[in-house]
A = this chain, B = another copy of it.
């Protein structure tokens, strides 16, 4: 029964869960240790004592403040408040150190830089990006993102988390890795050792990644779906759902360790803080404000489009001037990190005003009290005053988002917590910095920075509205506007709709925002799409990756192109029984991944296909017969031009057969053609491809329309397609690159 096979899947998912559970927590643990090393410097300043993983983890929390380092802290605290420029230098020193570490990991494994979401998107699209799902990449990415977040750069951990989740899943599904030296493959995992299953695991892992990053299981599934929908199936839906559920369950249990037998703490469920309803039975916004939300969405789409355009130009510039040398990339990271540090110090200094902490907090919720505790007393009296701009720049991004979302607006002017000017002084430079940082050689997510920028923008928008009409009730509170701003800016950059709606709903825990969020995100998507593509698509296109869009490119559609017009016509083919020398030379001379096998006996009819990896394996394992095996009795070995040995051999097979298992077992590390050593006499031997050929490849007629070809490629996730004519003769071959709009 199928249950047996499913059981394997469940087992895997259990492992999977564990690792997903471990992956974020190891990430957070290492961040925590990084913090602890420097607890002297950080907790003393009072602005980095929440651990970097955004999880208000009580153990870490309690261990943070009251260690033996307290006297060091004291010393440093004095140091800090007394010696002018010194804290800046200290800060700069540690940031640089951390950034260097992050850059080091990217130096070791270059594909671990950047956001990770484009990589996963390509992988799910069916593109074999080299080294993207390997254990080494995973380690480098997890360590790298830990350091880059710890360094206080405007980067998020979500993209890398999605990538890590995917890699964890892939590594587990393969049941082994080269990294540990030993072959840990279990026999029962062999079912999963093919591209298709591995892709499913990666999709599930990505969902689990979002589930653990935002506590958003359904949003994670939807993100996997929206970004990698080409091979979606019902089965995959609930597998991903299951993974995400287990991940969230693990997180929930871990976070509620202390209150396992009592009521669970709601605050720990929602990673961006719960939005509570303000009036008892009425919602936080009024019906006509939906129009305002749409307006915010449009503005956010505009901001996102600007961001994307800026980022595109920067990336092009980087590709020209920096990316070719690893040294330059590291230097760039250093320079930009210093810029970031300087800006986050100079801005609060420029602001230079101290605001008093709210004193009357009787009826405030725990969440709000905690936020107050996190305000940064930059050059002000700690415990009494805070610097508004510093609180935004120097807090961790998660905390800053929560402050913008949930900080109560006391007083009558309605903008007392963070004044409009402070928001402005934060929004513009921060967005610019985020744009510059995105793309440097550290692992860097985009979700959190754009949420933060958007929150500032939204709150600013709210303030302006409140200027129009003081009385609360006319307009929703600024927190609601901050949420909409977040959605708008993130949606304007990434152009996702349904998944972002659900992620934000799950992260803020208030269902009444479903309609406003949907409208904002839709508006942002439309506005943004009027100008350019989403940031991830821009990245993919700049890298010239043959990514297949869900729909046929319009140019192709308009010109009524048929398959015969886009195919490559000079097809390199093989015969069913072929000379080893010819095969070897072919593999050496061209880099194609697949070769049609044509039946020369019947004027080039398609017999099947052979993949490069299979041919290499066959050559390496010497699965070929000696010339005399064939010529037994016929004696015309020299006239192999026109003679068809397949016919001469008939049903007889050419000696040392390689088991199909043997070929599959080495997945995905097939030998390269350069690894193959031919002995002197080998070139004249015969390679019988008939037992190994894929005899029923997908084919398409040369008169088929481009739409049909595209659909076949896209829905089946093909790598190549043989083009045949009416009599099944191979007339061409189409791969992904032939289907791209440019060609």
Identify the A interface with B (CB < 8 A).
Answer: 1-2, 217-218, 221, 225-226, 229, 232-235, 237-238, 241-242, 245, 248-249, 252-253, 256, 259-267, 269-270, 274, 277, 279-288, 290, 365-367, 473, 497-498, 501-502, 505-506, 508-512, 514-515, 518-519, 522, 525, 550-551, 554, 562-563, 599, 602, 605-607, 695-705, 708, 711-712, 715-716, 724, 726-728
Instruction: Report the 8 A-B pairs with minimum CB-CB distance, sorted nearest first.
Output: A696-B704, A728-B728, A263-B282, A696-B701, A509-B511, A234-B550, A715-B715, A245-B518
> Measured between alpha carbons, how far is A727 from B285 in the docked complex, in Å?
68
Q: Complex: how many Å from CA A599 to CA B726?
A: 9
**Minimal Cβ-Cβ distance residue in B for A285:** B264
Q: Shortest beta-carbon distance, A532 to chain B, in Å?
A: 14
Q: A495: nearest residue on chain B (CB-CB)? A: B238
Q: How far is the CB of A124 from chain B (nearest CB, A)?
A: 12
Report B-chain residues with C-beta under 8 Å of the C-beta of A241. 497-498, 518, 522
Give me 17 other A-B pairs in contact (C-beta within 8 A), A229-B233, A252-B290, A602-B726 excluded.
A217-B515, A225-B225, A238-B497, A245-B515, A248-B515, A256-B287, A261-B286, A263-B473, A264-B282, A266-B281, A270-B511, A280-B366, A505-B511, A508-B511, A562-B696, A711-B716, A727-B728
Taking a contact as CB atoms under 8 Å apart, the answer to whether A261 and B288 are in contact is: yes
| Complex A-B: 13 CB contacts under 8 Å | A226-B237, A234-B550, A242-B522, A248-B515, A252-B290, A261-B286, A262-B286, A263-B283, A264-B286, A281-B366, A695-B701, A711-B716, A712-B716
Residues of chain B within 8 A of A277, CB atoms compared: 266
Kindly list chain B residues whose C-beta atoms are within 8 Å of the C-beta of A264: 282-283, 285-287
| Chain B residues positioned under 8 Å from A365 (CB to CB) | 280-281
Bound form: Cα–Cα A698–B512 in Å: 48
Write out the residue numbers on chain B whose beta carbons fall within 8 Å of the beta carbon of A562.
Answer: 696
Residue of B whose beta carbon sits closest to that of A726:
B605
A703 partner residues in chain B, CB cutoff 8 A: 695-696
- Whether the pair B554, A2 counts as a contact (CB closer than 8 A) is yes
Residues in chain B near residue A506, CB distance under 8 A: 511, 514
Given A281-B266, A708-B696, is A605 in contact with B512 using a C-beta cutoff of 8 Å?
no
Report the Cα distance A269→B516, complex, angstroms.
12
Residues on B with beta carbons closer than 8 Å to the beta carbon of A695: 701, 703
- The residue from B218, B256, B514, B726 contacting A501, defined by CB atoms under 8 A apart: B218
Number of chain copies forming the complex? 2
Complex CA–CA separation, A264 to B480 (angstroms): 14
Q: Return chain B residues, CB-CB under 8 Å to A367.
A: 281
Chain B residues near A281 (CB, 8 Å)? 265-267, 365-367
Measured in the bound complex, the distance between the Cα atoms of B518 and A394 in whole Å is 37
Most buried by B among A284, A288, A599, A696: A696
Does B518 lie within 8 Å of A217, measured CB to CB?
yes
Q: Which residues in B have their C-beta under 8 angstroms from that of A712? A: 698, 716
Contact of A563 among B221, B563, B696 (CB under 8 A): B696
- Cβ-defined partner of A700 (8 Å) among B252, B366, B696: B696
Do A726 and B606 touch (CB < 8 A)?
yes
List of B residues within 8 angstroms of A726 by Cβ: 599, 602, 605-607, 728
Bound complex: CA A288 to CA B263 (Å): 9
A188 to chain B, nearest CB (A): 18
Q: State A505–B217 Cα separation when bound (angstroms).
A: 13
A218-B696 in contact given A283-B264, A715-B716 (Cβ < 8 Å):
no
Q: How far is the CB of A211 from chain B (nearest CB, A)?
A: 10
Chain B residues closer than 8 Å to A518, beta-carbon distance: 217-218, 241, 245, 248
Shortest C-beta distance, A280 to chain B (Å), equals 7
Contact A286–B266 (Cβ < 8 Å)? no
Flag if B366 contacts A498 (CB, 8 Å): no
Nearest B residue (CB) for A278: B263
Known A-B contacts A241-B498, A506-B511, A522-B245; the reply to A724 vs B715 at CB < 8 A is no
Task: Give chain B residues whose Cβ lies under 8 Å from the Cβ of A498.
Answer: 218, 221, 237-238, 241
CA gap between A188 and B437 in the complex, in Å? 47
A260, A280, A514, A704: most-surrounded residue (chain B CB, <10 A): A514
Q: How far is the CB of A495 from chain B (nearest CB, A)?
A: 10
Query: Could you tell me the distance in whole angstroms from the C-beta of A494 to the nearest C-beta in chain B?
Result: 13
Give the contacting residue for A217; candidates B269, B514, B728; CB below 8 A. B514
In whole angstroms, what is the CA distance A727 to B695 when docked? 12
Bound-state Cα–Cα, A525 to B562, Å: 46
Instruction: Take A217-B514, A229-B237, A705-B696 as given contacts and tell me if A727 and B282 are in contact as well, using a CB distance cutoff of 8 Å.
Output: no
Chain B residues positioned under 8 Å from A715 (CB to CB) = 715-716
Q: Nearest Cβ in chain B — how far from A472, in angstroms?
A: 10
Are A253 and B218 CB-contacts (below 8 A) given A366-B281, A703-B696?
no
Partner of A605, one of B2, B497, B602, B727: B727
Assess the A283–B261 pair: CB atoms within 8 A.
no
CB-CB under 8 A from A270, the residues of chain B are 511
A253: contacting residue among B267, B284, B287, CB under 8 A: B287
Q: How far is the CA of A735 from the CA of B511 in the complex (A)?
A: 46
A703 CA to B690 CA, complexed, in Å: 13
Contact between B265 and A554, CB atoms less than 8 A apart: no
- Give the CA-CA distance A498 to B245 in the complex, in Å: 10
The distance from the CB of A536 to the nearest CB of chain B, in whole angstroms, is: 13
B288 touches A260 (CB 8 A): yes
Q: Which residues of B contact A515 (CB under 8 A)?
A: 217, 245, 248-249, 252, 269
CA distance A733 to B698 in the complex (A): 17
Alpha-carbon gap, A249 to B294, bound state (A): 12
A287 neighbours in B (Cβ, 8 Å): 252-253, 256, 259-261, 264
The answer to whether B261 and A282 have CB atoms under 8 Å apart is no
Q: Specify which chain B residues have a CB less than 8 angstroms from the CB of A696 in the assembled complex.
A: 562-563, 700-705, 708
Known A-B contacts A265-B283, A281-B366, A716-B711; A551 and B221 likewise in contact (beta carbons under 8 Å): no
A235 touches B283 (CB 8 A): no
